[in-house]
Structure 1
């Protein structure tokens, strides 16, 4: 548990690095000497749209994630190695049966308007999430906000209707669980993050400036962050080369050589992030597990990894949570392309002769290229797949969580946390509409126990069900590839599947 042994230090930096490398002109990170204060960082952000929002509890596009990380902080965040890290919280402790959790805040925390961060604000933030049914709700289990209370200005007791042993892990979804002041107005957002808002134009750009009373001094090092929406990768790369931006996120392997040849740094993170093909199990023809199974055997994962990520990704096996402590590859045989088996299963699933409609959008690594590779691979068994790539705004308005066959994007989170968001009935991002009562019951049992051995056994049983009958095809855990100007430092590899060290801009500095 946090504060009780699983986290040894309550630090706010992001200096620990996940698997990955920094290539190109110069090195990256703390090895470049003492951080330098000052400067303006211009971020060329992919995946934004006219629906961009600064609402602390309702981020959706990748640009939203980047901006929210500047403005807000949470009780806990996930670090570059995928582990919980205390942020606003000083400690987090459950009672004997995990029906209550006591959170103590650090002293001296302040919001951008100078008001103190107190227990009442934590309660207000979680109440807002629960009442608004924002995505963070599903990470909070059976929390009872009416019974939860502020013990003193720096102490909160959260009460749960049922034992909830997952709170420590759940709070690592910090991008859904930011702490805001009582009376928060998303149109005039105030947080306690490293930067405060100067201006914002949805679909175009935002400007944030250094918060001088940030709790993790001397961070942030930058004076200002300007986040600019750039619709596609070529424009991102051109802007970085031309000196119009200083960092770009979520580029593909195709841009590595171009960036390096122009003297830019390339930060490649081996991540636990995943961009699955999603099949709605409640809609024909994907309601037939034979078809779902057949499509999983159709994929040549190695070829897809080479074609899309130049081999920088990690081969997946249709089960998420690859860095989870309970993830065990030996539980299920690695699927490799088997065209004979795929063709037989697809025929058995009554999809022979059909044209499958696959819809995606350029929102995250691989989401435009992977569908094209799958289409080509399907031709080997005369299966027709029609691929439609929609603009991000159109996709989120018309297709996301609606169409039967699509793609999604997930940063890394512990397995059971992702289950709460993805594969339970009513989960906020259930693209597959998976609904298995046995699976749901197992999740409730895992959530209730503090016995790690028992929890591991339950998780393994759930993972086997994902593998055998789930609605996801997870060929690859994608690499995150960021382009960084040679004078920008502090950008470290991360397993989280989010760009630019999970957008922890407080750790970056400019040294020209």
Structure 2
């Protein structure tokens, strides 16, 4: 733990420090006694939505949420569960009831106590259909969800709370599920299952602009389009207390601009370099360069409101027309690994070669499949992507493969930023396909299949809808053991390659780095920097 220092002082120091843009790292500013504020500057982007955990399901908002809020539990680099705010999470014999016991002494950033009621109230609010939360479906396993979130369109809730959530005492609550779920403890490691303070309910809209969490950092400010600032929370009770005074998450229009700021000493941590900098960044940064795989995958996703009448063989053919090996080796400078599954290799349930050859490069077979399936709709493909994410080069390479091998028209459909890209997906305005990137919420095959391709999944922007797949997912959820659940989902993945809700491209690497101003920089298996561990030199 760092020595006692007022969080209010740190917030003020951050504001002053940000004005001193010519200075780097810990030289930004100080208090009246000349003590420097150790502020770490990391690249990011504009969150899509107000900063409420259950309304955030994209990377820029998640970077804030995951540091302002602490989860019940988390996962180490081997995918093993460890407790964070929870003392224990235990199930009954058949996994139908789970008991959560909280650690004592935790507080929100407004000084109020974190209690079992804080979790139960937050989850009930998020599940209620009237509150229109993106992540409400994460609570559908809980008894009484249908009472607060009726399935019938236009129907109103018949209850204010899910009956499956019960407070036992100040630090204990129980979760009763509609059917047993062997992996429910894994799900509790997702950001949606965090608590909210009582002040949230006074004005949820204002809260989204200035969230109050229970995590290692408290929210300081949000200058739209420029930066979000966080300050270390001195009364934080977790084991992962901040080893710096605060974080500035800087908004960049391009990864190339962020990299130049890193080289110039105006940025401390870059999470991903632009493809054009991949050939040089390791030489530029030396031992400060980071190149490591993480549990993430890149795909292209057809939107089924334009592809639903297309035979899946066409999409299998499109997949086999893409030369993943050459693109990852040349355009992406060896920084990615060609995918052979919908699931990342570090995730429990990954099967090598799960695609059964559908992700192999075979132009002749690709043309046969497309012809057998009746051809690409209008003989045209457009791949939507966000131009601020370093995707243009590989999108163009994929299109060139499709033009050459299938004789179709293929173009990139660039959106100026990730938020605009997501808005088009939300509004069902994607022309043909979109770039789909995913990194783990929890390290289990379920997270790479059900949370993307179930008909009811919020992140199913392609609007894929298969009763057979939904039933296979349900069978996996009802399995008695975790191993049986994984086996059922592996069977579901086999069927996914028959129906092709997406085309897996490659597995992701962290290709990032840090400045000379900071030390102790590492990234998780989800590809995110561990901001609390970074120290300013």
TM-score, length of structure 2 as denominator length: 0.81
Match of residue 70 from structure 1? 67
* Alignment root-mean-square deviation, CA: 2.4
1:31-430 alignment runs, 5 A limit: 39-45=38-44, 47-48=45-46, 51=48, 53-131=50-128, 132-144=131-143, 145-174=162-191, 176-184=192-200, 185-216=207-238, 219-256=241-278, 258-263=280-285, 265-284=288-307, 287-334=310-357, 335-351=359-375, 354-362=379-387, 364=389, 367-381=391-405, 382-392=407-417, 393-400=419-426, 402=428, 403=430, 404-412=432-440, 413=442, 414-430=444-460
Alignment CA distance shift 1:226-1:274 (3 Å) = same
Alignment CA distance shift 1:162-1:183 (3 Å) = farther
**When the two structures are aligned, how many residues end up with a matched partner?**
467
CA shift, 1:246, in A, is: 0.9
Give per-residue Cα distances to partners, 1:71-129, cap 9 Å, x unaligned: 11111223334443321111111112222100011111111111111100011221222
CA shift, 1:384, in A, is: 1.7
Alignment CA distance shift 1:254-1:178 (3 Å) = farther
CA shift, 1:372, in A, is: 1.0
Indicate the structure (1 or 2) with the bigger Cα radius of gyration.
2
CA shift, 1:299, in A, is: 1.2
Alignment CA distance shift 1:214-1:323 (3 Å) = same
Classify the secondary structure of the residue corresponding to 1:43: strand
2:475 and 2:84 map into 1 onto residues whose CA distance is 29
TM-score, length of structure 1 as denominator length: 0.85
Structure 2 stretches lacking a partner, 5+ long: 1-35, 144-161, 201-206
Give per-residue Cα distances to partners, 1:418-457, cap 9 Å, x unaligned: 3332111121011332222222112112112232443233
Alignment CA distance shift 1:311-1:461 (3 Å) = same
2:299 and 2:354 map into 1 onto residues whose CA distance is 20
Classify the secondary structure of the residue corresponding to 2:113: coil
Alignment CA distance shift 1:69-1:325 (3 Å) = closer
Match of residue 509 from structure 2? 479
Contact 2:141 2:179 (8 Å CA) reproduced: yes
Of 208-217 and 318-327, deviating more is 318-327
- The match for 2:528 among 492, 499, 512 is 499
1:197 and 1:251 map into 2 onto residues whose CA distance is 27
Contact 1:71 1:193 (8 Å CA) reproduced: yes
Contact 1:207 1:226 (8 Å CA) reproduced: yes
1:99 and 1:188 map into 2 onto residues whose CA distance is 36
1:156 and 1:363 map into 2 onto residues whose CA distance is 43
CA shift, 1:510, in A, is: 1.5
CA shift, 1:59, in A, is: 2.0
By percentage of residues, which structure has more helix? 2
1:172 and 1:369 map into 2 onto residues whose CA distance is 35
Match of residue 154 from structure 2? none
Alignment CA distance shift 1:423-1:218 (3 Å) = closer
Contact 2:292 2:510 (8 Å CA) reproduced: yes
Classify the secondary structure of the residue corresponding to 1:157: strand
Contact 1:139 1:420 (8 Å CA) reproduced: no
Classify the secondary structure of the residue corresponding to 1:143: coil
Alignment CA distance shift 1:253-1:396 (3 Å) = closer
Contact 1:270 1:494 (8 Å CA) reproduced: no
CA shift, 1:379, in A, is: 2.5
CA shift, 1:308, in A, is: 3.7
Structure 1 stretches lacking a partner, 5+ long: 1-36
Of 242-251 and 134-143, deviating more is 134-143
Contact 1:195 1:211 (8 Å CA) reproduced: yes
CA shift, 1:207, in A, is: 1.4
Match of residue 467 from structure 2? 437
1:224 and 1:331 map into 2 onto residues whose CA distance is 43
Match of residue 15 from structure 1? none
